[in-house]
């Protein structure tokens, strides 16, 4: 079965760091756009970052603080988060869109392009 499993969430003080992992199974992440999204309590889900054949793309709110990369051998995507703020608190989700032709068509910071989702991992940043 094709799955996405996130881990690495937790509680941290403002200014701290966390690294989230998303392990994919049942397909190769080299044939996909891989994105991270988050949903703060009581708010809409929003895009954080993505990686595709076109490179990485970040939401303005996390540029310069978050870094995304993938390890193809481990079929895993990572989101390293630095200088965390209380407003970064959310459930963080990993998602994918198929890109077997490698065109990068899904190189877009929008959940509408991502049909496959993990269950999420909670990140809480205290002030």
122: CB partners within 8 A, 6+ apart: 9, 10, 90, 91, 92
Per-residue pLDDT, 84: 98
Q: Rounded distance, CA 96 to CA 30, Å?
A: 11
Please, what is the average pLDDT of the chain? 96
15 is written with which tokens? Answer: 């200014």
Please write the tens of the pLDDT for every residue from 3-39: 999 999 999 999 999 999 999 999 899 999 999 999 9
Please write the tens of the pLDDT for every residue from 35-91: 999 999 999 999 999 999 999 999 999 999 999 999 999 999 999 999 999 999 999
Q: What is the mean pLDDT of residues 89-109?
A: 95
59 is written with which tokens? Answer: 């939401």
Per-residue pLDDT, 7: 98
Per-residue pLDDT, 1: 76
Q: Of 35, 11, 44, whose CA–CA distance to 118 is shortest?
A: 35
Q: Of 103, 115, 113, 110, whose CA–CA distance to 53 is shortest?
A: 103
Q: Rounded distance, CA 34 to CA 4, Å?
A: 10
């Amino acid at each position: 079965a094709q799955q996405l499993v996130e881990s690495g969430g937790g509680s941290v003080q403002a200014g701290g760091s966390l690294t989230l992992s998303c392990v994919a199974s049942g397909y190769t992440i080299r044939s996909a756009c891989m994105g991270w999204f988050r949903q703060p309590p009581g708010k809409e889900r929003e895009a954080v970052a993505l990686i595709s054949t076109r490179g990485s793309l970040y939401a303005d709110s996390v540029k310069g603080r978050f870094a995304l990369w993938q390890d193809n051998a481990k079929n895993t995507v990572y989101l390293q988060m630095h200088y965390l703020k209380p407003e970064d608190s959310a459930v963080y989700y990993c998602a994918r869109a198929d890109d077997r032709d490698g065109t990068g068509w899904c190189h877009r910071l929008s959940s509408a392009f991502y049909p496959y989702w993990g269950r999420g991992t909670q990140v809480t940043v205290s002030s």
